[in-house]
């Protein structure tokens, strides 16, 4: 389970719709960077990584969590063992994903050990490119190529999907990402004292089976949307409110805690438009009822997680 899947449950959707009124507004911003290919999801994930790199350079005190692609490599390495060698429940639960990845190898020219080697090399190279960029601020095509390869590995961890052309990069996607990087509004993302990148929510993340926000800048939670249409959809609104709720329950950040009650704005950054839409928390959250809602949220999540464990 994850926050996204939890929010898809009919009862949960209805509860969010009842408790949190979505502001009525129409965004008439015009797209500045149309997609260059149909690799929409891949480019979106790659931009998330690129944004992390950029913000680490912009805000030297930024705190970042481990990359998802690193976790993908850990999972792939488990597949070099026999199932009988896996002792921890946390390892065993990934066996279905590993089996699925192995079944998809036929669409590539790789065998499993070569796939693991490729994944390890991608992460190794990414750490070098990342370090070079954060130190120099010099964005190159090689850095952008690296984040695309990283996003290919994310598909393994997040969805058990092996990218058909893993290890290959479309030059149009590189240009796409470079263009989106060029329109980031620096003033929105320059932090005064707090910059958390992909922070989790302590016990609340474990409660929901996995959740991390994109960015926390001072008193703002911002989610990145690399989409063609600029609109505030109900599911996107629920997601950003969900991060706020998780933060109120478990705090924001594992080792660098931020009290979510200090968060004043939540919103969405539309990377193809270079625009950020922010909502004042006080206009969305009813402080008289939020405690009761959080209790319901915790109980409903615990019940759902038990159901999934039984299955």
Say whether both 173 and 53 belong to one domain. Answer: yes
Q: Which two tokens mark 242?
A: 């969900």
DSSP 251-289: -B-SSS-B-GGG--EEEEEETTTTEEEEEEHHHH--TTT
CA torsion 41-47-52-55 (nearest 10°) is -150
Say whether both 196 and 215 belong to one domain. Answer: yes
- Mean pLDDT across 182-209: 93
| Mean pLDDT for the chain overall | 94
pLDDT tens digit sequence for 126-138: 999 999 999 999 9
Say whether both 54 and 175 belong to one domain. Answer: yes
Res 16: pLDDT: 98
Of 167, 182, 197, which residue sits at a domain end?
182
With a cut of 90, say whether residue 269 has pLDDT above it. yes
Cβ neighbours of 237 (radius 10 Å): 22
- Mean pLDDT across 1-13: 92
Reported confidence tier of residue 264, pLDDT bands at 50, 70, 90? very high
User: By the 8 A CB rule, do 225 and 235 touch?
Assistant: no
Say whether both 158 and 194 belong to one domain. Answer: no
pLDDT tens digit sequence for 58-106: 999 999 999 999 999 999 999 999 988 888 877 888 999 999 999 999 9
Say whether both 175 and 205 belong to one domain. Answer: no
Q: Cα-flanking dihedrals φ and ψ of residue 213, to 5°? A: -80, 165
Element spanning 19, H or E = helix 10-19
Number of domains within the chain: 2
pLDDT tens digit sequence for 224-247: 999 999 999 999 999 999 999 999
With a cut of 90, say whether residue 248 has pLDDT above it. yes
Say whether both 205 and 162 belong to one domain. Answer: no
Say whether both 241 and 295 belong to one domain. Answer: yes
Say whether both 162 and 272 belong to one domain. Answer: no
Say whether both 47 and 155 belong to one domain. Answer: yes
pLDDT tens digit sequence for 41-64: 999 999 999 999 999 999 999 999
Reported confidence tier of residue 107, pLDDT bands at 50, 70, 90? confident
Of 154, 182, 210, which residue sits at a domain end?
182
- The label of the residue with tokens 């800048």 reads 217
Of 140, 162, 182, which residue sits at a domain end?
182
Say whether both 19 and 71 belong to one domain. Answer: no
pTM score: 0.93
Containing structural domain, residue 81: 40-59+66-182
Say whether both 159 and 209 belong to one domain. Answer: no
Say whether both 173 and 281 belong to one domain. Answer: no
């Amino acid at each position: 389970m994850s926050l996204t899947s939890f929010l898809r449950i009919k009862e949960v959707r209805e509860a969010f719709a009842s408790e949190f009124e979505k502001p009525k507004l129409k965004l008439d911003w015009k797209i500045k960077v149309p997609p260059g290919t149909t690799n929409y999801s891949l480019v979106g994930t790659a931009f998330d990584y690129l944004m992390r790199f950029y913000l680490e350079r912009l805000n030297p005190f930024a705190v970042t969590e481990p990359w998802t692609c690193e976790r993908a490599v850990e999972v792939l390495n488990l597949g070099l063992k026999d199932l009988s060698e896996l002792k921890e429940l946390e390892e065993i639960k990934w066996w279905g994903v590993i089996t699925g990845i192995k079944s998809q190898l036929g669409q590539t020219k790789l065998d499993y050990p070569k796939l693991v080697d490729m994944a390890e090399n991608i992460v190794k190279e990414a750490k070098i490119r990342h370090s070079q960029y954060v130190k120099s601020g010099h964005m190159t095509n090689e850095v952008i190529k690296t984040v695309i390869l990283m996003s290919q590995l994310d598909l393994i961890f997040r969805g058990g999907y092996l990218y058909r052309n893993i290890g290959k990069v479309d030059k149009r996607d590189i240009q796409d990402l470079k263009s989106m990087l060029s329109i980031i509004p620096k003033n929105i993302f320059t932090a005064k004292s707090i910059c958390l990148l992909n922070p989790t929510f302590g016990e609340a993340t474990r409660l929901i089976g996995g959740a991390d926000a994109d960015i926390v800048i001072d008193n703002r939670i911002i989610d990145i949307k690399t989409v063609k249409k600029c609109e505030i959809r109900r599911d996107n609104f629920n997601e950003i409110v969900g991060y706020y709720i998780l933060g109120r329950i478990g705090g924001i950040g594992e080792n660098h805690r931020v009290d979510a009650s200090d968060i004043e704005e939540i919103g969405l950054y539309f990377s193809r438009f270079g625009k950020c839409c922010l909502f004042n928390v006080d206009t969305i959250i009813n402080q008289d009822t939020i405690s009761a809602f959080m209790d319901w949220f915790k109980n409903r999540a615990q019940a759902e997680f038990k159901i999934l464990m039984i299955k």
